[in-house]
Structure 1
Amino acid sequence: MKKLFITAVTALVLFSCQNDQTTSSSEPDAVVARRGCATQEVFEEQLKADPMLAIRMNEIETFTNNRILTNRLVNGKIEIPVIVNVLYKTAAENISDSQIQSQIDVLNADFNALNSDYNSVPALFSGVKANVGITFVLEKINRKSTTKTSWGTRDAMKKTKQGGLDPTSPTTKLNLWACTIGGGILGYAQFPGGSSATDGVVIDSKYFGLSGSGSYPYNLGRTATHEVGHWMNLRHIWGDTTCGSDLVSDTPTHNEANYGVPAYPHYSTCSGTPVEMTMNYMDYTDDRGMYMFSVGQKSRIAAIFTSGGPRAGFAQ
């Protein structure tokens, strides 16, 4: 079983591990060959800027583990209102309402085990595949024309004074930003515990939803599923280091990130872990290669919405 508790000191060490983020190009409009999620890198920069963040994250970790251990989880479903902020210079970046709705539909399918590939989960993992039971409702779309060709990962798109759009009521609404990120990055999220002024998820407009400009192999809306998983306190399944821990007990330890669509079974050399759960949403596989959360991940998610949790405002 993985060690689930971390101290304030080890939090800083654990969360400073580097991801393998190899992509095909750093050009803003390039289609990437391998998934690139900048959540961990952004988090490391936030740690440098705010030393107290490591302490807050450790407090959240302690709270999460206590809730999981005592089974004091959310009763019923959480319904999350979503604000989508579209920043565009080109017509392609100004994604349509239907494309935006298709992304909400994907989130609802993936977080409620309604995705068509859910039944493709191998028998080995069928006992831990989970219906997270969280729904998403599109509340508003904000659009803004800009002169920027790419936004990077320093949260400029989340700040009106820097040409972006400030988040709307981030303690009670999930803000998504659709824009060109650049650098081969598909998206990134902010973990619970960060500043409310930058809270939410950023998705490159080329990988937002199912239709329009969606680019294969990231054209099934799973970038948002992965990033919203981070927003709900899930880590990368390989723990951002070789044979690392994602702080979840029922996900196998992975050697490292997996790309493409690995043939099953995909074996690990990590101690006590013969087969990796490559189809988990928190790996780096192509959209068609990821289609499940685990029961342990569901419990970890549910804990943050309980009274006193970092996202309790969404459960009221």
Structure 2
Amino acid sequence: MRKLFLSVAVAAVLFSCSNEENNSEMEISNNSVTSRNCASNDVLEAQLKENPQLAVKMAEIENFTESFLNNPTSQMRLVNGSIEIPVVVNVLYNSASENISLAQIQSQIDILNQDFNGNNPDFNQVPSLFSGVKADIGISFVLDNVIRKSTRKSSWGTRDAMKSSKRGGIDATSPDTKLNIWVCTIGGGILGYAQFPGGSSSTDGVVIDSRYFGNTGTATAPFDKGRTATHEIGHWMNLRHIWGDTTCGTDYVADTPTHNTANYGCPSYPHYSTCSGTPVEMTMNYMDYTDDACMYMFTNGQKSRMMAIFAAGGPRETFAQP
């Protein structure tokens, strides 16, 4: 298992991917994809270039997270033992099929409540090697509102246009106390992306392509079990990709094995890393790139990292006020 290591400069050096989309928000291919592609790190890289102070703020968040991990606090508002997060779903549609049903939206909320509470039916598939670290996160989600808007845009890209009414999208609703999810056609083979803690409140939230949201309606295999939202909300709660976005990198979690790089599809177990110690990779972790049917766990270390952002003084403390 990898050792936890947090650097005050982490936000400036974590991300090596470049955002290839330009500011014109051009129309891009909307074909369904067969391999997971999350743009969260690309979006963050662009934000860091546009706002150098963001790196400082994110480094402060990492220092706070390290302090929390060393001295956990329970100063959080709990509902039935869980942090309860109101969710606003903003649906932007160019066609009738993109105007997804309330049933499809609710299916995604239900999946989030399963995945973040260890109630997912495949939770019992976690291999015995990892059974000691698999986690019930203790976070619940409640659908607060659905906002719909017809648009002429056939794809939105990753420059946050969908989050701004001035650019044809929908403004975030109370982003300091509600999780905003924009459901639209992203294009470019992107399933979704999230904003990490520390970014602007006006763009805070998660974006999911309508074809990979929930498990009914337009949900498209192999990403038709709602795990794209689970993955992206993991980022929103300050989790990194399990391979650290570089060869044998770190996700700043102590109980996840070191991965060579992203895994795709449904790797056979055990899948060994060639990194130091050749550990068995945790390919079933929600923060890998495997298909929806093959990811079904968070770890206790990831849980602690998520809890840090909701603690008093954390970047999302307003979601869990005592």
TM-score relative to the length of structure 2: 0.94
Residues 68 and 308 of structure 2 are in contact (CA less than 8 Å); yes or no, is this contact kept in structure 1?
yes
How far is the alpha carbon of 1:7 from its aligned partner?
1.8
Counterpart AA for 1:11: A
Equivalence map 1:127-206=2 (5 Å): 127-206=132-211
How far is the alpha carbon of 1:81 from its aligned partner?
0.2
| 1:57 alignment partner in structure 2 | 58
- Percent of matched pairs sharing the same residue: 67
Give me the CA root mean square deviation.
1.4
Q: Which runs of 5+ in 2 are unaligned?
A: 20-26
1:309 and 1:11 mapped to 2: Cα distance? 16
Q: How many residues align?
A: 309
Q: Check if 1:2 corresponds to 2:3.
A: yes
Secondary structure of the 1:175 match is strand
How far is the alpha carbon of 1:2 from its aligned partner?
2.3
What do the CA deviations read for 1:233-292 (whole angstroms, capped 9, x no partner)? 000000000000000000001000000000000000111242000000000000001000
2:162 and 2:210 mapped to 1: Cα distance? 13
Secondary structure of the 1:301 match is helix
Q: Which runs of 5+ in 1 are unaligned?
A: 20-25
| 2:122 alignment partner in structure 1 | 117
1:92 and 1:161 mapped to 2: Cα distance? 24
Residues 18 and 240 of structure 1 are in contact (CA less than 8 Å); yes or no, is this contact kept in structure 2?
no
Counterpart AA for 1:237: I
| 1:46 alignment partner in structure 2 | 47
2:28 and 2:150 mapped to 1: Cα distance? 21
Q: Check if 1:72 corresponds to 2:98.
A: no
Secondary structure of the 1:188 match is strand
Equivalence map 1:1-316=2 (5 Å): 1-8=2-9, 10-17=10-17, 28-73=29-74, 74=76, 76-316=81-321
TM-score relative to the length of structure 1: 0.95
Counterpart AA for 1:151: W
Residues 86 and 143 of structure 1 are in contact (CA less than 8 Å); yes or no, is this contact kept in structure 2?
yes
1:71 and 1:50 mapped to 2: Cα distance? 31
What do the CA deviations read for 1:78-97 (whole angstroms, capped 9, x no partner)? 00000000000101100000
How far is the alpha carbon of 1:17 from its aligned partner?
4.8
Moved more, 201-210 or 26-35: 26-35
Residues 194 and 206 of structure 2 are in contact (CA less than 8 Å); yes or no, is this contact kept in structure 1?
yes
1:269 and 1:115 mapped to 2: Cα distance? 31
How far is the alpha carbon of 1:29 from its aligned partner?
2.6
Provide closer, same or farther for how the CA distance between residues 177 and 190 of structure 1 changes in structure 2, counting only shifts above 3 A: same
